[in-house]
Amino acid sequence: MKKKLNVGLIGYGFMGRTHSNAYCKVNHFFDLPYEPSLQVVCGLEEDKAKAFAEQWGYQSYTTDWRKVVEDDRIDLVDICVQNNVHAEIAMAAAEAGKAILCEKPLALNGDQAREMVAAIEKAGVANLVSFNYRRVPAVTLAKQLIDEGRLGRIFHYRANFLQDWTISTQVPQGGMATWRLDVKAAGSGVVGDLLAHCIDTAMWHNGPISSVSALTETFVKERMHTETGKIEPVGIDDACTFMCRFENGSLGNFESTRYARGHKALYTFEINGEHASIGWDLHDLHRLSYFDHRDESIVRGWRSVHITDSDMPYMDKWWVPGLQIGYEHTFVHQIADFLEGLAEGKPASPTFRDGLATQLVCDAVLKSGREETWQEVARS
Amino acid sequence: MKKKLNVGLIGYGFMGRTHSNAYCKVNHFFDLPYEPSLQVVCGLEEDKAKAFAEQWGYQSYTTDWRKVVEDDRIDLVDICVQNNVHAEIAMAAAEAGKAILCEKPLALNGDQAREMVAAIEKAGVANLVSFNYRRVPAVTLAKQLIDEGRLGRIFHYRANFLQDWTISTQVPQGGMATWRLDVKAAGSGVVGDLLAHCIDTAMWHNGPISSVSALTETFVKERMHTETGKIEPVGIDDACTFMCRFENGSLGNFESTRYARGHKALYTFEINGEHASIGWDLHDLHRLSYFDHRDESIVRGWRSVHITDSDMPYMDKWWVPGLQIGYEHTFVHQIADFLEGLAEGKPASPTFRDGLATQLVCDAVLKSGREETWQEVARS
Amino acid sequence: MKKKLNVGLIGYGFMGRTHSNAYCKVNHFFDLPYEPSLQVVCGLEEDKAKAFAEQWGYQSYTTDWRKVVEDDRIDLVDICVQNNVHAEIAMAAAEAGKAILCEKPLALNGDQAREMVAAIEKAGVANLVSFNYRRVPAVTLAKQLIDEGRLGRIFHYRANFLQDWTISTQVPQGGMATWRLDVKAAGSGVVGDLLAHCIDTAMWHNGPISSVSALTETFVKERMHTETGKIEPVGIDDACTFMCRFENGSLGNFESTRYARGHKALYTFEINGEHASIGWDLHDLHRLSYFDHRDESIVRGWRSVHITDSDMPYMDKWWVPGLQIGYEHTFVHQIADFLEGLAEGKPASPTFRDGLATQLVCDAVLKSGREETWQEVARS
Amino acid sequence: MKKKLNVGLIGYGFMGRTHSNAYCKVNHFFDLPYEPSLQVVCGLEEDKAKAFAEQWGYQSYTTDWRKVVEDDRIDLVDICVQNNVHAEIAMAAAEAGKAILCEKPLALNGDQAREMVAAIEKAGVANLVSFNYRRVPAVTLAKQLIDEGRLGRIFHYRANFLQDWTISTQVPQGGMATWRLDVKAAGSGVVGDLLAHCIDTAMWHNGPISSVSALTETFVKERMHTETGKIEPVGIDDACTFMCRFENGSLGNFESTRYARGHKALYTFEINGEHASIGWDLHDLHRLSYFDHRDESIVRGWRSVHITDSDMPYMDKWWVPGLQIGYEHTFVHQIADFLEGLAEGKPASPTFRDGLATQLVCDAVLKSGREETWQEVARS
């Protein structure tokens, strides 16, 4: 018999939807010890919170996140709000003894993330940061192939996250749809929003990053702010490239921008090892590229592996070979792993501590971009 | 306020799962007049029916499909069983005044399909055949582009559905997992299972097929039957190629096989028109290929359109640009359209009558394969 | 010391250029017993023949092909003229004891081809039909992989040759640039021009074709004839699809058209075997697709083999890994093989006898298209 | 009537072959005022020089480059030797009043390049550096599209040149085949050999680079030296990533390595502009990727332009649509442009002065890599 796990969701935006969908679907496909029960959704505007609750089947709604955190029935607090509110909510939830699932990036900066880690570790609550791309089956498979040693010594790790949605100077900053352009709400631009994903995956695949050198740029210097209605300076980074050294001696090359015309969410990575290489691309997330030099030379080439067979990570839960899953399934996998970890006492990663490590790389990248010098990454 | 629509599902196999998932999800993403309510699931083995009901939230379960059809509370009977039982259930459901959703192919042959159409039209019940691939957004977009006249006169329609799962002679026939290889259960092989999809889409895109010439083959002549435990002759077509003429003067080339090593479910089509061409591939279902000769020549080429923006068919309901959906979403779109049609009194296609038209092409193809002559396609 | 081989070229059109280029280049890259020496070029218009001779370094020029055939200094007669003149020239050249290289298709039909074979075999002269695509390194490699048994039993052979250059009704028939649309000059349309290539490669790869069923169409029924200046009926096939059985039990599906908008010269083939499959595409001729089911399942996928390493067929003669060759190199390989065969007394294929076999399949295809019945292929 | 242009080639290695092939072919395809005449080839080993002369049709051979430079009959000195000898030969040839074609990189460093520029400008001789990739038709087309303003403001320029041939520690340094690993002969590693190409193209496309920050690495620290037979330290850079700012405000990201398993010569670039983006890849050099945001949204996507039609740069000289050219043709285009420039008095680029500009970026990159600081690029 499954145990109920009462969920309180804070934030009814895009991420609120992806998480709610995952809670609704997970038990249809995974055999888990817990069954999420949607109790309450919290958001700033009451009518929207109400509509969201109806659409997704939450029992109630509120506009005050403290009510969620203080509600004794709630087992899990799920934080899907703007980056600048993560810390306060997470620390209150920790103190209230709730399990916590927090959207990425964990915090506005490393100092804040450190406080959060201290709080949740003191409270001893289960915790996870939602770097969901780890749980694209192809990305999980990449981890498995690396861990099996198939690549041998790693020489290069290359990742990009390219978008093009802010090229127009008419895109405003601030508000529900464009808070990611407002430095107060987001903390940073592409670094926290996009590169954080790349960094999380990269360190999971390839170990810690030790030092970085970054180039950051803000192409559009002023944008209308939706809250003030005035043209205001843009405080975020529109684009960032950084080079780095990993502790294992390999080199990294990372780039993110929202000015790469033609790319919507082109998160790609490639890992070059002594024997084999791996490539992946979010625009075709159900495929993995694999090259193995040990193949016989006349039939050696990059393989396009269609990740739909049941021996692929997570894929025994879904359909039949050839039939692809999509973006939303990463969140289902995430909650499935989280619930399994909860039952077994083995926390799923990335934990808040992992999220802190990523935050410290982001800090170093931003500082390097500002100062135009190499930066050591602080130890978490 | 949404009306409840009580669903009785017959068949808890692969298609039972895809349909159940669609019923559970559809109201989270679409704003519809009806809300499906999962009442009862029916299947041959009681323990499996029970487990399925628990996993998907059906109120009850049964092993007798007549109980579903006769249940006054049920509004919609959803038929997800082997092809040879479609007709009996559908006709009983029609007589009982139920709306009917039936998996494809509609029937074992054209004669049977004609009887079913007569029954449902006499009863005046809503009906749909689950040719789900019409509702891949890229496939729907192709229909839109053709209807807008962008391609001009059509010269060629080319479709393949290639698999490789029956190459081993050790794959048996009959039973839950391999009934598709048993001619009694399936009626035919790749023609009814796979080419029926291609034919349905092709006639939707390009109008009626008037005559066909086919080549069919059974590569593995005998297989163990799971019910008898004995080696028995294989009665289905393992592979089928057919050429055809469409009524609009264009030529068709269709092929399906389960012996195309390396292809899992490679349903592809390409349409060549006077001005433009379109291509699509189920292995990357979120992309459409488009070529337009009217483009300026120095930048003219096949475009790979990533079908994830909100102006694409159905895509305003899902995520954000760049984030792909998958196979299961076709069933969500199907039920959404069906429910909208139900409310508006405008039935969604493909109806049983459309399913009959496809069946008649299948009949002609099979007859042509047997007799090695061209066959006219009978009028529905 | 290399022997000189005096070449007389008949035809200064597109094929005349590809062959001349091959004669000029072959000794720069291959170490051969013979060195072609460009003696005479023959063409209908004197000024063009003269200009061609100057541009390519032919010693002389003429407008009378008999002078080439009768010239004692000439060792090799190379026939690059319209299809309807192949037979007469080739038989005269044979009688004169010349080695003969003839463009494809060998003849207008099987009867004519048979006469030619009889003539050259009686004369005992070296002979080759220029089905140049056999000598794309990727296509040669495919042959090697099949011959090594890597694919196991072959189930399917699929080939297309798609173009789009005759869609406009304004394209005329007849004359230097468009004789391929004039049935008198060409004998047939896409069958002899394009499918002949596919058939030659297919039988080389997969053995004889035993029976065929074809669909042919002429989309544009009348075109201006450049010789008469009048609108005249079009006698060629604009498009042809055919299905076939190979003697080894595998099935074939072939299609060619000049009405496939977006494709310039898209010759593709795919071969599906029990264990492995191969695919190729003339638009990226330097790549071979290969899938091997025996690969470990989690890294199994289609490999894109970049055919540029020195262990690939012919590639030790060219550049370094990663640097591709193109279309023209197929003709260099052809003449290299021909010259080697000449020295060793082992004729390179495809010989005229091979060309006859292809012609007989073309005949059966055209007859099947006219009569809408299956046709057995005559034995060569 | 064409004028003869007597060529003296210095260096019979890989580049000697590509240049010789270009001289032999160029007048077969281009209508030029000059006809190259192969007079003399010079190389270190007499028997190899002799064999090369025979194979390519040079009138004579020598082992002393001064004899070439001092030979009155020679019009053009073509320098295809190791980087460390470029300067001496080029300056002597300039003094002797010869036209000069020099392989890239122009020199070992900027100072040396400056001397060479001074020498040739003083002598007033025609000069060209062989950055041949500018003359891949797709790369030339990219330049044209940018110059027409189609991309609008440029935000990003991204280029990689990835190889994998030195991963094995058994690859030696020094000697004919591996002098590129010997810092004395090559001056640098991937920076001069590979990034120099990327930099040349990038500045041609996108204007001057103003500042750089680089990361360089030597993965294999010691290799056997073919001249001494001893294990010696490796002085070159095995890998280099650099970020940069262009003068037009756009950002650059460049990477090159010989440790990217699976890539043979993967030179790629992508340019992101306000309205449109362009991508290219040496492994499929006959294609250009193009994305234009001004396309109608439902058919907007990356276009794969197959650069084979006659309205594409240089392509009216070759074959017919769909039939690709390869690597070697870039050298034919280069010599064609050089000869045309010679006749018209309009020197083709890249001149030695352009080569100096690239050298200065290389210098800044290498210095930045050593010192781990940003570097301004010196003005040429």
Name every chain B residue with its beta carbon within 8 A of the beta carbon of D299: 145, 290, 292, 303, 305
C142 CB-near residues (< 8 Å, 6+ apart):
C205, C269, C271, C278, C280, C288
Residue closest to B301 by CA, chosen among B279, B320, B284: B279
Alpha-carbon span B270 to B268, nearest angstrom: 7
Q: Which among C265, C321, C324 is the nearest to D322, CB-wise?
A: C265
Neighbours of chain B (3+ CB pairs under 8 A): A, C, D
Taking an 8 Å cut-off on Cβ atoms, the answer to whether D301 and B297 are in contact is: no
Alpha-carbon Rg of chain C, whole angstroms? 21
**Contact A293/A235 with Cβ under 8 angstroms?**
no
> Which among D201, D329, D195, D307 is positioned nearest to C324, based on CA atoms?
D329
In tens digits, chain B (380 residues) has pLDDT values of: 689 999 999 999 999 999 999 999 999 999 999 999 999 999 999 999 999 999 999 999 999 999 999 999 999 999 999 999 999 999 999 999 999 999 999 999 999 999 999 999 999 999 999 999 999 999 999 999 999 999 999 999 999 999 999 999 999 999 888 999 999 999 999 999 999 999 999 999 999 999 999 999 999 999 999 999 999 999 999 999 999 999 999 999 999 999 999 999 999 999 999 999 999 999 999 999 999 999 999 999 999 999 999 999 999 999 999 999 999 999 999 999 999 999 999 999 999 999 999 999 999 999 999 999 999 999 88
DSSP SS3 for C10: strand
**Residue C304 with chain B: CB contacts under 8 Å:** none
Dist. CA C105–CA C123, nearest whole Å: 21
Contact flag A305-C309 (C-beta cutoff 8 Å): no
Chains touching chain C, criterion 3+ CB pairs below 8 Å: A, B, D
D223/C contact by beta carbon, under 8 A: no
Compute the Cα dihedral for D116, D117, D120, D121 and give only its sign: negative
Which tokens in the block code for residue A145? 């192939």
Residues of D in contact with C329 (CB under 8 A): 326
Q: Which residue of B has its CA nearest to A266?
A: B322
CB atoms within 10 A of CB B97: 12
- C-alpha dihedral (A26, A29, A32, A37), degrees to nearest 10: 30
Q: CA–CA separation, A101 vs A132, rounded Å? A: 11
Which residues on adjacent β-strands are paired with residue A176? none
Between the alpha carbon of residue B19 and those of residues B177, B309, B329, the distances in Å are 18, 25, 10
- Quote ipTM for the complex: 0.96
Please state, in angstroms and rounded to a whole number, the distance separating the CA atoms of residues C319 and C309: 9
Q: Which chain C residues are closer than 8 Å to D266 by Cβ?
A: 322
Cα of D379 to nearest chain C Cα, Å: 34
How big is chain B by its Cα radius of gyration, in Å? 21
C-beta of residue A90 within 8 angstroms of C-beta of residue A79: yes
Residues D32-60 have pLDDT tens digits of: 999 999 999 999 999 999 999 999 999 99
CB within 8 Å: D303 and B303? yes
Cβ atoms of D107 and D203 within 8 Å: the answer is no
Q: Which of C140, C144, C298 to mutate to test the interface with A (most CBs of A within 10 A)?
A: C298
Please give the Cα distance from B110 to B377 (Å, whole number).
Answer: 11
User: DSSP label at C378?
Assistant: P
A-chain CB neighbours of B32 within 8 Å are none
Residue appearing with tokens 């209807």: B147
Taking the C-alpha atoms of residue C89 and residue C112, their distance in angstroms, rounded to an integer, is 12
**Mutation for D interface: A150, A195, A215, A238, most D CBs within 10 A:** A215
Burial class, C66, CB count within 10 angstroms (exposed 0-12 / middle 13-18 / buried 19+)? middle
Q: pLDDT value at position B176?
A: 85
Between residues 41 and 70 of chain D, which touch chain C (CB distance below 8 Å)? 55-56
- The pTM score is 0.97
Q: Which of B21, B264, B321 sits opposite A264 (nearest CB)?
A: B321
Region for residue D11 given its phi and psi (left: phi exceeds 0; alpha: psi -120 to 50; beta: otherwise): left
Secondary structure of B217-278 as H, E, C letters? ECCCCEEEECCCCCEEECCCCCEEEEEEEECCCCEEEEEEECCCCCCCCEEEEEEEECCEEE
Nearest CA in chain A to D212: A215
CA–chain centroid gap for A102, Å, is 10
CB contact under 8 A, C260 and B217: no
DSSP letter for each residue of A173-202: BSSTTTGGG-HHHHSSSHIIIIIHHHHHHH
Q: Transcribe A11-79 into DSSP letters.
A: --SHHHHHHHHHHHHHHHHS--SEEEEEEEEE-SSHHHHHHHHHHHT-SEEES-HHHHHH-TT--EEEE
CA C185 from centre of chain: 17
User: Which residues, other chains included, contact A11 with Cβ-Cβ below 8 Å and sequence gap of 6+?
Assistant: A42, A43, A79, A80, A81, A103
Yes or no: say if D280 and D268 are a contact pair by the CB < 8 Å rule.
yes
CB-closest option in A219, A253, A260 to D277: A260
Distance CA D324, CA B231 (A): 53
* pLDDT at res. C380: 82
Distance CA A30, CA A337 (A): 10
Q: Which residue of B has its CA nearest to C303?
A: B262
Q: Which two structure tokens, joined as six digits, stand for B32?
A: 């519809």
Which helix (H) or strand (E) segment is D364 a member of?
helix D352-371
- State how far the Cα of C211 lies from the Cα of C205, in Å rounded to an integer: 17
Collect all residues of chain A within an 8 Å Cβ-Cβ radius of residue C146.
none
Predicted local confidence at residue D86, as pLDDT: 97
DSSP 8-state code for residue C273:
E
Residue D1 has pLDDT above 80, yes or no: no
DSSP B342-365: HHHT-PPSS-HHHHHHHHHHHHHH
Do you find a cis peptide bond into A137, omega within 30 degrees of 0?
A: no
User: From the CB of residue C170, how many other CB atoms can be counted at a distance below 10 Å?
Assistant: 9
Give the pLDDT score at A177: 87
- The SS3 assignment for A210 reads strand
Minimal C-alpha gap between C311 and chain A (Å): 7
CA-CA distance, D268 to D24, in Å (whole number)? 29
- Tell me which residues of chain C have a pLDDT lower than 50: none
Place of tokens 């694999």: A290
Confidence at residue D139, expressed as pLDDT on a 0 to 100 scale? 98
pLDDT per residue over A91-148, tens digit each?
999 999 999 999 999 999 999 999 999 999 999 999 999 999 999 999 999 999 999 9
Interface of A with B in 160-199 (CB under 8 A): 163, 165
| Chain A touched by C302 (CB under 8 Å) | yes
The C-alpha atoms of residue A249 and residue D375 are separated, in whole angstroms, by: 24
Nearest CA-CA distance, residue A343 and chain C, Å: 29
Other Cβ atoms less than 10 A from the Cβ of C143: the count is 16
Please write the tens of the pLDDT for every residue from A263-280. Answer: 999 999 999 999 999 999
Neighbours of chain D (3+ CB pairs under 8 A): A, B, C
pLDDT in tens, D300-318: 999 999 999 999 999 999 9
Q: State the number of CA atoms in the 13 A half-sphere of A264 facing the CB.
A: 19
CB-based contact C165 D323, cutoff 8 Å: no
Query: B308 CA to chain A: closest CA distance, Å?
Result: 9
Residue B302 has its nearest CB partner, among D295, D300, D303, at D303
Residue A1: is its pLDDT beyond 80?
Answer: no
- Whole-angstrom Cα distance, residue A195 to residue A193? 6
Q: Which of residues 304-343 of D touch C (CB under 8 A)?
A: 306, 308-309, 318-329
Q: Chain A 266-285, CB below 8 Å of chain D: which residues?
A: 270, 272-277
How many Å lie between the alpha carbon of B253 and the closest alpha carbon of chain D? 23
Give the C:D interface size as CB pairs under 8 Å.
97
- The number of angstroms, rounded, from the C-alpha of C340 to the middle of its chain's C-alpha atoms is 20
- Cross-chain Cβ contact D265/C322 below 8 Å: yes
Closest CA to B352 of B58, B123, B65, B69: B123
CB atoms B326 and A286 under 8 Å = yes
Q: What's the average model confidence in pLDDT over D90-101?
A: 98
State what percent of residues in chain D have pLDDT above 70: 100
Q: How far apart are CA A237 and CA A240, in angstroms?
A: 7
CB contact under 8 A, C264 and D55: no
Q: Which of chain D's residues have a Cβ under 8 Å away from the Cβ of C263?
A: 322
- Name B275's Cβ contacts closer than 8 Å, sequence gap at least 6: B150, B151, B152, B292, B293, B294, C261
Q: Which residues contact D255 (CB under 8 A, 6 or more apart)?
A: A158, A253, D159, D160, D161, D162, D239, D240, D241, D242
Chain B contact set for A56 (CB, 8 A): 28
Residue B110: helix, strand or coil by DSSP? helix
